[in-house]
């Protein structure tokens, strides 16, 4: 069970979030899990690229085969950046967990202006279509960048031409 709140202020004043997160213990028990390790070392620690002892402890437990499932009230509690997401998902999908062959999960991380991200869970049958769409997006982006570079080059030439015309008597 991984529990995190981003700031010390949230830890002190957002008790509803804590109640919901710790409440996952009861949900895990209802699903049949008996040994539940609550990792709450990261209360008050941002998930945006900072070192998190609890998250690292979770990854170590995954590597050691001590984890049967990872519970978190929402995706943003686990990770807010692609590097942490990819590490966690790779560990979960490659390593065998305590109760089976692992739990492969596909998550698309979408970036928005201002540094905001959103994780979207994908069904396995959606993955090829999303990969193809991302490939088309990358191609489109490269084309736009090439056009932009060409436009900048042409504008520079136009400016130089205009300056040269101004110098002529």
Residues 21-53: pLDDT tens digits? 788 888 888 877 788 888 888 888 777 767 788
Q: Is the pLDDT of residue 68 over 60?
A: yes
What is the predicted pLDDT for the residue at 45?
78
Is 17 considered catalytic here? no
Cα of 41 vs its chain's centroid, Å: 20
As for how many domains the chain has, the answer is: 2
**Of 6, 17, 46, 121, which one is the catalytic site residue?**
6
Q: Of 77-81, 95-99, 116-120, 133-137, which one has max mean pLDDT?
A: 133-137
CATH number of the domain encompassing residue 27? 3.40.50.1390
Does 127 share its domain with 149? yes
Cα of 6 vs its chain's centroid, Å: 15
How does DSSP assign 51-72, residue by residue?
--HHHHHHHHHHHTT--S----
pTM comes to: 0.48
Does 22 share its domain with 68? yes
Does 31 share its domain with 88? yes
Q: Which domain holds residue 129?
A: 123-169
| Long-range Cβ pairs for the range 30-37 (8 Å, 24+) | 33/68, 33/69, 36/1, 37/1, 37/61, 37/66
Q: Is the pLDDT of residue 83 over 70?
A: no
Does 117 share its domain with 160? no
């Amino acid at each position: 069970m991984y529990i995190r709140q981003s700031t010390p202020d949230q830890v002190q004043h957002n008790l509803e979030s804590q109640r919901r997160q710790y409440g996952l213990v009861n949900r895990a028990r209802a699903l049949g899990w008996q040994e539940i390790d609550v990792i709450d070392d990261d209360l008050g620690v941002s998930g945006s690229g900072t070192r998190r002892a609890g998250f690292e402890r979770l990854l170590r437990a995954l590597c050691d085969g001590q984890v049967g499932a990872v519970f978190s009230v929402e995706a943003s509690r686990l990770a807010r950046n692609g590097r942490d997401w990819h590490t966690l998902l790779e560990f979960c999908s490659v390593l065998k967990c305590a109760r089976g062959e692992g739990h492969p999960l596909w998550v698309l991380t979408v970036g928005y202006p201002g540094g905001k991200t959103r994780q979207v869970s994908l069904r396995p049958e959606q993955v090829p279509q999303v990969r193809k769409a991302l490939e088309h997006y990358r191609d489109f982006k490269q084309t736009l960048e090439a056009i932009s570079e060409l436009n900048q080059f042409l504008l520079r030439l136009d400016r130089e031409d205009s300056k040269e015309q101004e110098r002529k008597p």
